Amino acid sequence: MKRIILLALLTTSLGVFLNAQVKYHASYTNVSIAGTSTLHDWDMSSEKSQCDISFVFDGSNITGLSSVVFNINAETLKSHHSGMDKNAYKALSTDKYPQITFTSNYANVRSNGANSYVISAKGKLTIAGVSKDVWLAGVTTVNPVDMSVQTAGSMKIKMSEYNVEPPSFMFGAMRTGDEVTVKFNVTLKK
C-alpha cells in the first residue's frame, strides 16, 4: 500500500513539474495603430505598455496560457503630429478612460514549427470604457537559450464598435476611416 501511495505522489509531482505555469513580464513592447483618412494614411505607436502572461509549459513547449493582462496608457500612443494626437485622445475620451486593456484567461495553442506557436487568446478588449469579447492571435517564438518569449500579431477593429467617433480635422474636411489595424510586438521574460 505504501508503494502505491508513493508512486501516486511521485506521478502527481512529476506531472506538476512537467506542466509548469510560468509568469512572464514584458521587457519590450511595441504597439502601433494604423488607419486611413480622406487625405492620407496615418499611424500612431507606443513602446510604453505593460504585459504579463502566465504560460503553461510541458517541458520547454508551450501548451497553454492561464492569463494575459495587457495595459497601455492611450496617451503614450504618438503620431508625428501633435494636433492629430490631441484629436485622437479627445476621440478616445482619455480624460475619462486613460487605459486601453486586453485581458484573457483562455487560449488555443497550436505548434507552428520548432519553438514556434500560433496562439489565439479569447478575452476582453476595453477601449474608451467599452469592453468587447475578441479573439487576438499572434505568432509566438520561444528562445531555447534563455526561455524568453517573443510574440507578434495584429487585428482589425472598428472604432465605432467602441463608441469612438473617428476623429475629423480641418472643420470636417479630413475624416479618418472607422477601421484601424492594431499591431503588437512583445518580448517577455521570466
Q: What is the pLDDT of residues 73-105, one digit of tens each?
A: 999 999 988 888 998 999 999 999 999 999 999
Three-class SS state of 86: helix
What's the predicted TM-score (pTM) here? Answer: 0.86
Residues paired with residue 139 on neighbouring β-strands, in sequence order: 118, 152
Percent pLDDT > 70 in the chain is 87
Nearest to 98 by CA among 138, 46, 53: 46
| pLDDT reported for residue 98 | 98
* Grid cell in block for residue 90: 479627445
* Grid cell in block for residue 91: 476621440
CB 119 within 8 A of CB 151: yes
| pLDDT reported for residue 12 | 43
CB 26 within 8 A of CB 150: no
Q: What is the pLDDT of residues 144-187, one digit of tens each?
A: 999 999 999 999 999 999 999 987 666 666 788 999 999 999 99
Residue 19's CB is within 10 A of a number of other CB atoms, namely 13
The CATH code of the domain at 19-189 is: 2.40.128.110
Domain ranges (residues) in the chain: 19-189
Give Rg (Cα) of the chain.
20
